[in-house]
Amino acid sequence: MKTLAILIVTLFLSFSASAQLSYEKGMKKAFDLWDQNQIVEASNLFERIARAESDNWLPPYYAGYTLVLSAFEVKDEATLKLKLDKAEELLNQASSLSPNNPEIMLAKALGNTAYISFDGQKYGMNLSGKNQMIYQKAMQLAPDNPRVILAKAEWDMGSAKFFGQSIQPYCEDVQKALSLFETEEKSDIRFYPSWGKKRAQQILEEDCEN
Amino acid sequence: MKAPLFLILLFLSVQVLAQQSISGQVTDRQGLPIIGANVYLVGTYDGATTDAKGKFSFSTSETGEQTLYVSFLSFEDYSLTTDVTKLKEIDIRLREDVNTLDAVMLTAGTFEAGEASRVTALKPLDVVTTANALGDFLGALQTLPGTSTVAEDGRLFVRGGRAEETQIFIDGMRVFAPYTPTTNNIPTRGRFSPFLFKGISFSTGGYSAEYGQALSAVLKLNSIDEPDQEKTEVSLMTVGVGVGNTQKWEKSSLSINTSYINLTPYLEALPDRNQWLSPIQSANGELVYRYKTNDTDLLKLYGAFSYTDLDVIQENINFEEGFRFANENRNLYVNGSYKSLLGQKWTLNTGLSLSHDNNQFQVGEDLISNSDHSAHLKIKLNKRLNNRLKFNVGGEYFITDFDERFQALETPAFDYGFQNNISAGFAEVDVFFSKQLALNVGARVGHYELLNQTEFSPRASMAYKSGKHSQFSLAYGRFFQHPNAEVLKFNSALQPEHATHFIANFQYVRKNQIFRVEAYHKSYDNLVKFDTELPIFGSNFSNLGFGEASGVDVFWRDNRSFKNLEYWASYSFLDTERDYRNFPEAAQPGFASTHNASLVTKYWIEDWNSQVGLSYVFASGRNYTNPNQPGFLNQKTKTFHNLSFNWAYLIDQQKILYFSVSNVLNTRNVFGYNYANQADANGVFQRQAIVPNDDQFLFVGFFWTISDDKTSNQLDNL
């Protein structure tokens, strides 16, 4: 009797451990695919994990974020819209699990930027205002999040360049983001977004040197 | 004894976890492989992405009945529930999703503007950055083919139809008095500020059964659902001032737009040909309130009030001292609409619009005052049966109550008017046979209470996508429209006028390029006729008029060939004749010109922070009757030319200086001639050319936006 109880407990433990493991393994595998530039495969895997894990915002966030990134490569509008619609759906799923999350907000703003960079005349009027609002809100929620500072600075730089104005103030913001990246503590949440440092360095080198 | 049992159990549990392999191929209906599809078992991480041959394989530890799910952009999702052991070497054929941007569109006869549309002939900016449009969206639409240039009028004349044959809708609800009041030879403008709309759809024929009481065209304006941010906008112009403000809350938002226009200072500096007793002044206020009752449902209220007055003496060959015209107009328009998703793919759209238009005219020595109370009620239900089949049914009710009082000098006044209610129902179905072929069939039934008469109008359109960028469309429809107050106030027994449209269209669309050619034939019958110079009491009215119009419209827009340059070109050929009003015979009416062309260009100069634009409009001569020669509408005016220029300079991100001038070349355009009522001593009827009030119009404005983000501006509004 006692043995059986132990057995059941052991089996139960091993099952839950294996479930835990497969989330870790699954996410790890998706990041590996992403590192190998297989972004479609990575995105598909994130999506599968998102469909299976209905209470964790990270899988749908990454599924949406990778779709947004891949949308920048798209050449025809039909595919662009399909990708970004799906990305929006996944990011909405993420934000319903984690409301007012600045990381998800940045991914949504990046989706708008993909539309604007595809056809600024058509989408710029409506979506640039939306992005302004998103960045403002993200800054209110997380004024010391280096990704928020970086994304907002990069966006502001874009419009300053368009209007022929100095980008210097935004370079200072990027510099500030970079120093915050240096001191950013690793989150307790496994797979919490940590991108941005390289991008900040790249902007400082390429756009801000003079 | 106990240890082996443990081992056996452990072994069994490993057995349970043993891997089952799943494999197969994903293709489209033609058997071509689909690459990158996501194939997985629902509720697990187990899955794969299809390779270059559309193949997939993965293993799973799941057992028993499982659901295999396949999804890929631009195809409908697929699922199969069966025992995992059967999921080997399976062939999956996905059906194309017909609701994508590259699918066929049912759009013969329609031009779209705004971001929501799939093919944008005009971008949001264009509506107001077109040089000859002077900030009026009606002006921008007149650079599209199918419209005739009637520069002294300013309204939309479409494909040989009178201006009254085009109806305007805001959020699906009819606008009863869309144009600002004006006088002879001063073009009218739209009453509504383009800033409050996110999308414009202009159909020059063959429109769906949802729209009735329009013989030639419908213009649909959709107001903004959710403004992007709170802001205040200030405009200082040579002709007046404007202030706008937008506020946002959690679930609702409010935009207010006000303007005051007064032409006195402008006319002091640059007098025109008229003797103004009181130049045009107008005060306008608009308000949009939006309330989201939940994530999918939206209530919108739109209200506009305007007051205009003017008093002018215009030269007239029949009046030595000139002819006096004065008007004081008050217009109130309220429009409420509600959209709700009812579940099970039913959507409800319902709305109400109310209009009160009041005029006090002085025409020569006569005083005329009138008031028009109108209402439109509408309810519409959409059902999406699946991706390929959609239904749209609805009903609507129009109420018109018109009263007029006429008082000639030293005679008693008399009153007259009419009341007319029209009810209508419509139903239509959209069928997508494939991504290439689609069909819309519908019908509309209208009932006229005044006449106790019912009409039936069938509509149909189909489209075939012949290539990645090209598509052919056909459309047919019968259209009915009740005559307007101009004649109904004297004779309320007149029947609705009819038109039948046949349209064939080809369009080629790729990124930043649109080519479109459309041929049409339109026939009219039941047109109103009368036997006096103008409709009056005692005219003999009838519905015996008829007419036809045929033509070809060509449109080309290109934003990709030259850096920083955008341009579009339109050409319309129109062959039309009609016998209506007091025409003694069928003839080409004076508002129609056979050839119309326009070219609009916009160039962005980065170093100057400026956008400069040039637009050129051409129209061939229009008919007029010369009483010194035999015949009716027996001569043509010379051709019409107008080259306009504009320049928008961005002082900084929130301040813009805008300058525009019309008719740069100072062409002396003539729209027609007024002949003397009496011949002179030599038996010749003297004439007076009908010319613009101003050969050129100069506009300077300063636009300032105040918002938290400090970067948005009104460039979009110019």
Q: Is residue B8 very low, low, confident or very high in pLDDT (cuts 50, 70, 90)?
A: low
Tell me the average pLDDT across B371-382: 96
Q: Is residue B718 very low, low, confident or very high in pLDDT (cuts 50, 70, 90)?
A: very low
Q: Model confidence over B307-322: pLDDT tens digits?
A: 999 999 999 999 989 9
Residue type for B48, please? A
- Does one domain contain both A107 and A170? no
A125 found inside a domain? yes
Tokens coding B565: 């340059």
- Residue A165 sits at the chain B interface (C-beta within 8 Å): yes
Q: Which residue in the set A76, A119, A132 is minimally distant from B712, CB to CB?
A: A132
B6 found inside a domain? no
Q: Kindly report the CATH number assigned to the domain that includes residue B25.
A: 2.60.40.4130
Q: Is B495 helix (H, G, I), strand (E, B) or coil?
A: coil
Question: Mean pLDDT score of chain B, rounded to an integer?
Answer: 89
B435 found inside a domain? yes
Q: Chain B residue with minimal CA distance to A80?
A: B101
- Residue A92 sits at the chain B interface (C-beta within 8 Å): no
Q: Among B93, B128, B159, give the residue marking a domain's end.
A: B93
- Residue A169 sits at the chain B interface (C-beta within 8 Å): no
Tell me whether residues A79 and B120 touch, CB distance under 8 A.
Answer: no
State the pLDDT at residue B657.
87
- Does one domain contain both B291 and B355? yes
B479 in Cβ contact with B489 (< 8 Å): no
Quote the CA–CA distance of A110 and A141 in Å, as a whole number: 18
Does B588 score more than 80 pLDDT? yes
Residues 6+ positions from B623 with CB-CB distance below 8 Å: B587, B588, B589, B590, B592, B633, B634, B635, B636
- B4 or B651, higher pLDDT: B651
- Residue A45 sits at the chain B interface (C-beta within 8 Å): yes
Residue type for B150, please? V
A11 found inside a domain? no
Q: Chain B residue with minimal CA distance to A59?
A: B45
Does B654 score more than 80 pLDDT? no
Tell me whether residues A126 and B198 touch, CB distance under 8 A.
Answer: yes
State the pLDDT at residue B37.
95
- Residue A100 sits at the chain B interface (C-beta within 8 Å): no
Does B500 score more than 90 pLDDT? yes
Q: Is A98 helix (H, G, I), strand (E, B) or coil?
A: coil
Tell me the average pLDDT across B52-57: 94
Tell me the average pLDDT across A152-181: 87
- Does one domain contain both B183 and B274? yes
Name the region of B343 (left: φ>0; alpha: ψ -120 to 50; beta: rest): left
Tell me whether residues A3 and B2 touch, CB distance under 8 A.
Answer: yes
Quote the CA–CA distance of B71 and B584 in Å, as a whole number: 67
**Interface predicted TM-score (ipTM) of this complex, two decimals:** 0.84
State the pLDDT at residue A18.
46
- Determine the residue among A43, A46, A48 to mutate to test chain B binding: the one whose Cβ has the most chain B Cβ atoms within 10 Å: A48
Burial of A110 (0-12, 13-18, 19+ CB in 10 A): buried
B169 in Cβ contact with B218 (< 8 Å): yes
In which domain, by residue range, is A160 found?
143-210
B222 found inside a domain? yes
Q: Kindly report the CATH number assigned to the domain that includes residue B290.
A: 2.40.170.20
State the pLDDT at residue A6.
61
Of A4-8, B2-6, B139-143, B243-247, the range with the lowest mean pLDDT is: B2-6
Does B527 score more than 70 pLDDT? yes
Q: Among A96, A130, A164, give the residue marking a domain's end.
A: A130
Does B200 score more than 70 pLDDT? yes
State the pLDDT at residue A9.
56
Length of chain B, please?
Answer: 718
Tokens coding A33: 């695919």
Tell me the average pLDDT across B58-71: 91
User: What's the distance, CA A144 to chain centroid?
Assistant: 17
Does B387 score more than 90 pLDDT? no
Q: For residue B421, what are the CA distances in angstroms to B399, B488, B651?
A: 5, 13, 53
B265 in Cβ contact with B296 (< 8 Å): no
Residue type for B330, please? R
Task: State the DSSP code for B581.
Answer: B
Of A141-145, B190-194, B639-643, the range with the lowest mean pLDDT is: B190-194
- Determine the residue among B228, B231, B435, B567 to mutate to test chain A binding: the one whose Cβ has the most chain A Cβ atoms within 10 Å: B228
Give the residue from B122, B4, B135, B26 showing the smallest Cα distance to B74. B26
Tell me the average pLDDT across A58-70: 96
- The CA distance from A196 to the nearest CA of chain B, in Å, is 24
Does B373 score more than 80 pLDDT? yes
Q: Among A130, A162, A186, give the residue marking a domain's end.
A: A130
Tell me the average pLDDT across B221-227: 85
- Does one domain contain both B215 and B355? yes
For chain B, percent of residues with pLDDT exceeding 70: 93
The total of structural domains in chain A comes to 2
Size of interface A-B (CB pairs under 8 A): 102
- Does one domain contain both B607 and B663? yes
Q: Model confidence over B85-121: pLDDT tens digits?
A: 899 999 999 998 888 877 888 776 677 766 555 666 7
Tell me the average pLDDT across A126-130: 82
Q: Among B44, B65, B93, give the residue marking a domain's end.
A: B93
Q: Is residue A17 very low, low, confident or very high in pLDDT (cuts 50, 70, 90)?
A: very low
State the pLDDT at residue A13.
47
Of B108-117, B432-441, B541-550, the range with the lowest mean pLDDT is: B108-117
A7 found inside a domain? no
Tell me the average pLDDT across B211-227: 90
Tell me whether residues A159 and B709 touch, CB distance under 8 A.
Answer: no
- Determine the residue among B49, B122, B198, B255 to mutate to test chain A binding: the one whose Cβ has the most chain A Cβ atoms within 10 Å: B49
Tell me whether residues B102 and A122 touch, CB distance under 8 A.
Answer: no
Tell me the average pLDDT across B345-369: 95
Q: Is the dihedral of CA B57, B62, B64, B69 positive or negative?
A: negative
A120 found inside a domain? yes
- Residue A141 sits at the chain B interface (C-beta within 8 Å): no
Task: State the DSSP code for B226.
Answer: S
Tell me the average pLDDT across B356-361: 96
The total of structural domains in chain B comes to 2
Tell me whether residues A132 and B38 touch, CB distance under 8 A.
Answer: no
Tell me whether residues B40 and A51 touch, CB distance under 8 A.
Answer: yes
Q: Chain A residue with minimal CA distance to B566?
A: A121
State the pLDDT at residue B114.
60
In which domain, by residue range, is B247 found?
110-717
- Does one domain contain both B517 and B543? yes
State the pLDDT at residue B15.
46
Q: Which of B 575-634 lie inside 8 A of A, CB atoms?
A: 606-607, 609
Model-level pTM? Answer: 0.85
Q: Kindly report the CATH number assigned to the domain that includes residue A51.
A: 1.25.40
Q: Is residue A75 very low, low, confident or very high in pLDDT (cuts 50, 70, 90)?
A: confident
- Does one domain contain both A204 and A151? yes
